[in-house]
Amino acid sequence: MSRRTVLALPVAVGLIALALFAQSGCSKSSPTSPYGGGGGGGGGGGGGTVEPFSSGNFTSSNAQGFVHTFTNTGSFGYTCTIHNMPGTINVAASGPDSVTVDIVNFAFSPNPASVKTGGYVHWINTVATAHNVTR
């Protein structure tokens, strides 16, 4: 009886210690964990300011579009990540206030498209095939 208690006690203490250790280790490591909101990254591209955007997938024709306003001059490439379709938006100090880019079959039209600084591009998927617009 008493022997059993003596044996069980160290085991219980050990388990508690393990639990505490695991907890503190967990909370300690979370600020540096990969889920801690990384950030950074980016860069790349020579000279031009990176303006990331993502439309998400257009899953039907004409029902959905996507608008992005370009605030910096430069030449900005983008793709449909589903089909690796390349597109380019050229942004200059002067030019149209906005431009509509149709997605027709497996291409952007017009491509490249031009807009002035502060103007926006409106992409419309004209086909039933799912596409997206991602930079």
**Under the rule (CB under 5 A), what is the footprint of Cu ion?**
80, 82-83, 85, 131
84 or 94: whose CB is closer to Cu ion?
84
**In b/e form, how buried is each residue of 9-30, taking b as 16+ CB within 10 angstroms?**
eeeeeeeeeeeeeeeeeeeeee
Name the residue whose CB lies closest to Cu ion.
Answer: 80
DSSP state of 76: E
Q: Are strands 113-116 and 120-125 parallel, antiparallel or unpaired?
A: unpaired
Residue 80 vs 99, nearer CB to Cu ion: 80
Return the number of the residue (82 or 92) whose C-beta is nearest Cu ion. 82
CB of 85 to Cu ion, least distance (A): 5
Nearer to Cu ion, 85 or 89 (CB): 85
CB of 57 to Cu ion, least distance (A): 9
Give which of 65, 51, 72, 63 is closest to 99, Cα–Cα. 65
What sign results for the dihedral spanned by CA atoms 21, 22, 23, 24? positive
Least Cβ distance, residue 80 to Cu ion (angstroms): 3
